[in-house]
Amino acid sequence: MHRDTVFDLLGVGFGPSNLALAVRLAEEASVSNLAHCFIERQPEFGWHRGMLLDDCRMQISFLKDLATMRDPKSRFTFINYLFERGRLVDFVNLKNFYPTRVEFHDYLSWVAASFDDRVNYGETVTGIEALRSAANPNDIDALRVFSRDHEGREWQRVTRALSVGIGGGAMVPEAFAALGTHSIVHSSQYLTSIDRVVGPSSGARKRVAVIGAGQSAAEVFVDLTRRFPHVDASLIMRSGALKPADDSPFVNEIFSPAFTDIVYAQPRDGRRSLIERFRDTNYAVVDRPLIEQIYEMLYLQNVSADFRHRVLAHTGIETALRTADGRIELTLRDRLSGHARAEQFDALVLATGYRRDTHFDLLEGLAPHLGDALAQGNVERDYRLATPESFKPRIYLQGCCEDSHGLSDTLLSVLALRSDEIAASLARHLSKDPSTGRTEQTQESEASSGRIAFVF
Ligand SMILES: Cc1cc2nc3c(=O)[nH]c(=O)nc-3n(C[C@H](O)[C@H](O)[C@H](O)COP(=O)(O)OP(=O)(O)OC[C@H]3O[C@@H](n4cnc5c(N)ncnc54)[C@H](O)[C@@H]3O)c2cc1C
């Protein structure tokens, strides 16, 4: 018989959301002794590495880092990072609130390094199973979390609470999914795949289409035109123009922590309409300087009469198919004139955004025990899935509560405070029930029938 370690909290994914939680747990006395760990599928910490383009900047002030908004005196602030790296004075001289993404990635990695002993890198969580209470078999009192590492080994851990912070999954429209992955790259994999896809600059000319109208589409388009002299790039979008993100100060208040309360207090329809009203702060919009840069690049093409790169606005893609020689043929329809034409490309970059529903797959094994909490998206203000009374483990959802908590949920804006709310919720729960009802017997018998159980 095998005895599992029972964690108080297990975090799935170790991106900024769970990293912020790790920081909070480390700094808050009432929860600092919780038995907790994180499981992250990447081999080391990484924040959107596939889009870590050299000169791209953050779309949020550095002051909205993992800690400052909660506690400017935390040792995990961006300012302390600059100080410890010896760049604080130079950074001040930049007079810029928006560091490059490369620098912010370095900041996040610097914070993450403090939690190496808590994170199991290189493991993907593959499923979660409910464990019944030995005292009351009608109750579920813990969760078994299954994961697989790079070498195919399976692991399992038992926990009383879960923090799901797995980010978004690449959104690949059906028409493109059917074509397979050869020479088709989602923007999330852009930097790790593009060299292979377009080949060396000394090679033949390549026609590459970027699909999308948002920040990633614009960034990829500019990168292709700058770094690959043999690439002719086309940016294809249904909308009529690249539109600027509204980051004006009054509008920006929707990303304030207080706005989460305002959204959450609305009835379902009210939440939806608030989110729709402010969609142009985050979706299908581009930073104005980048728009201006693209416009100027196209203008200079006009001057030199060298029309290699194009922005095709008002353009719908009706069909996508593979040609006999492996290229991709798109039927493009001009949405103003109604005229359709076929064009062939050597490669596509899909800047088509992210799905925010991947937690459904992750939690699928628990569905029979969750009532309609999952299907209805019933999440409490403290980000806890509203599970039935008989389901004791606490499941916190981060980054997939936009419908209930507003547009800041998928971003960095409220991380410092959201992690505080989750930590406080855990602390309240533990203080109500200090034993958390541990039933070692249950865990022993369940473990003996489980898969390979590695325990640390
Ligand atoms: C290119 C880009 C730039 C952005 N820039 C900004 C910005 O400037 N400002 C802003 O506010 N927001 C920005 N965002 C939004 C972004 O969502 C947040 O910055 C942030 O990444 C959210 O953190 P997260 O931890 O919730 O998700 P993620 O950063 O996506 O992290 C999720 C982690 O979970 C891991 N994971 C997933 N599934 C599993 C599994 N089954 N098992 C184990 N691990 C798993 C992933 O490997 C990943 O490391 C940007 C997004 C992109 C794509």
Q: What is the pLDDT of residues 377-418, one digit of tens each?
A: 799 999 999 999 999 999 999 999 999 999 999 999 999 999
Other beta carbons within 10 Å of 89: 9
Work out the pLDDT band at 433, boundaries 50, 70, 90. low
- Cα 365 to Cα 19, 126, 393: the distances in Å are 26, 10, 14
Binned at pLDDT 50, 70 and 90, residue 375 comes out as confident
Cα separation, 120 vs 12, whole angstroms? 10
Nearest CA to ligand 1 atom 45: 13
Pick the residue whose CA is nearest to atom 16 on ligand 1. 411
Look at the block and give the residue holding tokens 């964690």.
Answer: 7
Closest ligand 1 atom to the C-alpha of 147?
42
Residue 1 pLDDT more than 50?
A: no
Ligand 1 atom at shortest distance from the alpha carbon of 168: 30
Distance 14 CA to ligand 1 centre (A): 9
pLDDT (tens digit, 9 = 90+) per residue, 304-313? 999 999 999 9
Question: Does the pLDDT at position 197 exceed 60?
Answer: yes
> Which atom belonging to ligand 1 lies closest to the Cα atom of 42?
47
Q: How far is the CA of 342 from the centre of ligand 1 (A)?
A: 36
- Which residue minimizes the CA distance to atom 14 of ligand 1? 411
What spacing in Å lies between the alpha carbon of 16 and ligand 1's midpoint?
7
C-alpha of residue 167 to centroid of ligand 1, in Å: 5
Query: What is the pLDDT, as a whole number, of residue 6?
Result: 93
Distance, CA of 244 to CA of 238 (rounded, Å): 16
**Which residue ranges have their beta carbon within 6 Å of ligand 1?**
12-17, 39-42, 47-48, 51, 58-60, 124-125, 165-167, 216, 398-399, 410-413
- For residue range 29-38, list pLDDT tens digits in order: 888 889 999 9
When the pLDDT of each residue in the chain is averaged and rounded to a whole number, the result is: 92
Check pLDDT > 80 for residue 2.
no
Q: Which CATH class is domain 6-168+356-448?
A: alpha beta
- Residue 343 pLDDT exceeds 90: yes
Query: pLDDT per residue over 94-147, tens digit each?
Result: 999 999 999 999 999 999 999 999 999 999 999 999 999 999 999 999 999 999
53-100 confidence digits (pLDDT tens): 998 999 999 999 999 999 999 999 999 999 999 999 999 999 999 999
Please tell me the predicted confidence (pLDDT) of residue 439. 34
Q: Do residues 159 and 11 lie in contact, with contact meaning Cβ atoms separated by under 8 Å?
A: no
Q: Which pLDDT score, from 0 to 100, does residue 372 have?
A: 85
> DSSP letter string over 178-241?
TT-STTEEEGGGHHHHHHHHH--TTS--EEEEEE-SSHHHHHHHHHHHHH-TTEEEEEE-SSSS
Fold of 170-245+283-350: FAD/NAD(P)-binding domain (3.50.50)
Using the mean position of ligand 1's atoms as its centre, give its distance from the Cα of residue 448 in Å.
36
Kindly give the number of the ligand 1 atom that is closest to the alpha carbon of 362: 41
Q: Which of 17, 39, 96, 247 to mutate to test the pocket of ligand 1 (most atoms within 8 A of CB)?
A: 17
pLDDT(234) > 90: yes
What confidence score (pLDDT) does residue 200 get? 87
Pocket test for ligand 1, best of 19, 41, 47 (most atoms within 8 A of CB): 41
**Residues 115, 65: Cα–Cα separation, whole Å:** 17
User: Phi and psi of 447, rounded to 5°?
Assistant: -60, -35
Determine what percent of the chain is predicted with pLDDT higher than 90: 87
36: phi then psi, degrees, rounded to nearest 5: -145, 155
Question: What integer pLDDT is reported at residue 455 of this predicted model?
Answer: 35
Whether the per-residue pLDDT at 444 is higher than 50: the answer is no
pLDDT at position 452: 34
Say whether pLDDT at 27 is over 90.
yes
Task: Give dist(CA 90, CA 71) in Å, integer.
Answer: 24
Q: What is the pLDDT of residue 358?
A: 93
Q: Where in the chain is the domain with CATH 3.50.50.60?
A: 6-168+356-448, 170-245+283-350
Q: What is the pLDDT of residue 30?
A: 86
Ligand 1 centroid, distance to 165 Cα (angstroms) = 8
Q: Whose CA is nearest to atom 28 of ligand 1?
A: 167
Ligand 1 atom nearest the C-alpha of 188 is: 53
Residues sharing a CB contact under 8 Å with residue 83, sequence separation 6 or more, in sequence order: none
Its pTM stands at 0.93
pLDDT of the residue at 448: 30
Ligand 1 atom at minimum distance from 57 CA: 8
pLDDT on residue 449? 29
pLDDT of residue 366: 96
Edge-to-edge order in the sheet of strand 184-186: 184-186, 347-350, 206-211, 231-236, 310-312
